[in-house]
Amino acid sequence: MDEIKKTGDRIAKVLARAGIASRRAAEKMILDGRVTINGKVISSPALNVISSDKIVVDEIPLPSAETTRLWKYNKPIGLVTTEKDEKGRKTVFDNLPNNLPRVMSIGRLDLNSEGLLLLTNDGELKRTLELPSTGWTRKYRVRVNGVPTPERLNKLKNGITVDGEKFRPMAISIDRQQGANAWLTISIKEGKNREIRRAMSELGFKVNRLIRISYGPFRLEELKSSEVEEIKSSILKSQLGSLLNLQTYEKETPSQIKKIVRRKKKFLPNARNPSQRMSKI
């Protein structure tokens, strides 16, 4: 297994497509010696495999990849977007319905942010949609304390550097002023850590509510807070077909995946299950 095959797909990608973990988590599983191919433990993710290879994770044969699925989830305030929080705070995955398969979040929303969070059972899809090169726009309704003007907001439209970190240009519109607060609509191309909050703070405005209303072509619409809605496969294929070579697999009960998750759950980040509709602003 020391020789890298020239055909097939990288082993981490195959594990991600099978729903075992995200590609990054799959690479760690390989480095931890938890994966064997044709009876031999592998130690490097820089390895290609083909369909005839026998892949085993934690002594359990790799199941066939599940059909790629995608859900919309309206994340409420107060939940952390991580599988397990070191501070013991409640996570998004603690709040999801038990009837969902193992899912991963596409990107994150911080503790005090709410709105659209995409969930998927496909680690490769997660990776693709998080890449800045994918170019998908994230749109937010943002309430700030203060009276913003087009002149002050123009700084963000041209891109801004905060604490040495460069933020890409943002598209911003002022929707309305309500007393001491103003509602804005802000669109960004990549979601750096607390990007909008930090950018607005740099201009002297404090964000007191932030709601993601769309991620690429997928919109929050009338989904209530904590509610989950699966995106139809026909829509998934039409919207993502050009971004990812989505394949349709026969559906099967992912009992082997469940065994792996139960036995090695602490190693699998962002692995769990989603459910409310957003009240009118």
pLDDT tens sequence across 237-252: 888 876 655 443 333 3
Q: Per-residue pLDDT tens for 172-204?
A: 999 999 999 999 999 998 888 899 999 999 999
The CATH number for 156's domain is: 3.30.70.1560
The CA-CA-CA angle for residues 141, 145, 146, to 5°, reads 115
pTM, two decimals, is: 0.71
Q: What is the number of structural domains in the chain? A: 1
Catalytic residues: 110
- With H, G, I as helix, E, B as strand and everything else as coil, classify residue 196: helix
**Residue 190 belongs to what domain range?**
137-215
270 domain residue, yes or no: no
**Residue 15 pLDDT:** 87
**Residue 62 pLDDT:** 84
Side-chain-side CA neighbours of 9 within 13 Å: the count stands at 14
CA distance 190 to 104: 18
210 domain residue, yes or no: yes
Q: Which residues of 203-233 are buried (b: 16+ CB within 10 A; e: fewer)?
A: eebebebbbbbbbbebebeebebbbbbebee
User: Could you tell me if 23 and 123 are in contact, meaning their C-beta atoms sit under 8 angstroms apart?
Assistant: yes
98 domain residue, yes or no: no
159 domain residue, yes or no: yes
Q: 25: which DSSP letter?
A: H
Mark the ranges of the chain whose per-residue pLDDT is less than 50.
1-6, 246-281
261 domain residue, yes or no: no
The total number of residues written for the chain in this structure: 281
